Amino acid sequence: MSGPATRITASAPAKTNLLLHVGSPTPDGYHPLETLFLAVDLRETVTATLDPALARRGPGISVSVEAAPGSAYERMVAEGAARLSDIPLDAENLAVRAALAVCEAWGVAVPGLQLHIGKAVPVAGGMGGGSADAAAALVAVDTLLAEHLGTAASSPEELARLGAELGADVPFMLLGGAAIGRGTGTELEPVAADGSLHLVLVPQDQGLSTPAVYREWDAEHAVASATEAPGGGVGLAPDPVPAETLAALAAADPDALAARVRNDLQAPALRLLPELETLLNHGVQLGALAGWVSGSGPTVCFLAHSREAARQLVGEFGRERRRALAVTGPVPGARVDSRG
Ligand X SMILES: C[C@@](CO)(OP(=O)(O)O)[C@H](O)COP(=O)(O)OP(=O)(O)OC[C@H]1O[C@@H](n2ccc(N)nc2=O)[C@H](O)[C@@H]1O
Ligand Y SMILES: Nc1ncnc2c1ncn2[C@@H]1O[C@H](COP(=O)(O)OP(=O)(O)O)[C@@H](O)[C@H]1O
Name the residues annotated as catalytic: 15, 169
Vertex 333 angle, CA 13 and 188, to 5°:
110
Query: Total number of residues binding ligand X (CB under 6 A)?
Result: 21
Minimum distance from residue 287 beta carbon to ligand Y (Å): 27
141 is a contact residue toward ligand Y (CB under 6 A): no
DSSP string covering 232-258: HH-SPPPPPPPHHHHHHHHTT-HHHHH
33 binds, among ligand Y, ligand X, none (CB under 5 to 8 A by kind): ligand X
Tell me: is residue 128 an annotated ligand-binding position.
yes
Buried b / exposed e over 212-230, threshold 16 CB at 10 Å, is: ebbbbbbeebebeebeebe
Q: What whole-number distance in Å separates Cα of residue 217 and Cα of residue 273?
A: 14
Q: What whole-number distance in Å separates Cα of residue 249 and Cα of residue 241?
A: 12
176 is a contact residue toward ligand X (CB under 6 A): no
Which one among 88, 240, 315, 318 touches ligand Y, defined by CB under 6 A?
A: 88
263 is a contact residue toward ligand Y (CB under 6 A): no
283 is a contact residue toward ligand X (CB under 6 A): no
Q: Alpha carbon 285 to chain centroid distance?
A: 28
Q: Where are the alpha helices (DSSP H) in the chain?
A: 52-56, 72-78, 94-106, 129-149, 156-166, 170-175, 210-220, 230-233, 243-250, 254-258, 266-272, 275-285, 307-319
184 is a contact residue toward ligand X (CB under 6 A): yes
Tell me, what amino acid is at 211? Answer: P
Binding mask 109-148 for ligand X (x = CB under 6 A): -----------------x-x--x-----------------
Minimum distance from residue 240 beta carbon to ligand X (Å): 16
Complex with ligand Y: residue 258 or 296, whichever CB lies closer: 296
170 is a contact residue toward ligand Y (CB under 6 A): no
Vertex 41 angle, CA 306 and 115, to 5°:
170
Minimum distance from residue 49 beta carbon to ligand Y (Å): 17
167 is a contact residue toward ligand X (CB under 6 A): yes
181 is a contact residue toward ligand Y (CB under 6 A): no
Tell me: is residue 235 an annotated ligand-binding position.
no
| Contact criterion met (CB below 8 Å) for 255 and 200 | no
Name the nearest CA neighbour of 308 among 200, 201, 203. Answer: 200
Binding mask 5-44 for ligand Y (x = CB under 6 A): ----------------------------------------
Q: What whole-number distance in Å separates Cα of residue 142 and Cα of residue 158?
A: 11
Which one among 168, 175, 248, 252 touches ligand X, defined by CB under 6 A?
A: 168
Which one among 5, 296, 300, 330 touches ligand Y, defined by CB under 6 A?
A: 296
Buried b / exposed e over 66-100, threshold 16 CB at 10 Å, is: ebbeebbbbebbeeebbeeeebebeeebbbbbbbb
166 is a contact residue toward ligand Y (CB under 6 A): no
Q: Which of residues 95-124 bind ligand Y (CB under 6 A)?
A: 95, 117, 123-124
Q: Which residue has the CB atom at the shortest distance from ligand Y? A: 130
| Contact criterion met (CB below 8 Å) for 116 and 10 | no
For binding to ligand X (CB under 6 A), which residues are involved? 17, 20, 25, 29-31, 33, 35, 126, 128, 131, 167-169, 184-185, 210-211, 214, 295-296
For binding to ligand Y (CB under 6 A), which residues are involved? 87-88, 92-95, 117, 123-131, 133, 207, 210, 296
**Binding-site residues for ATP, please?**
122-132
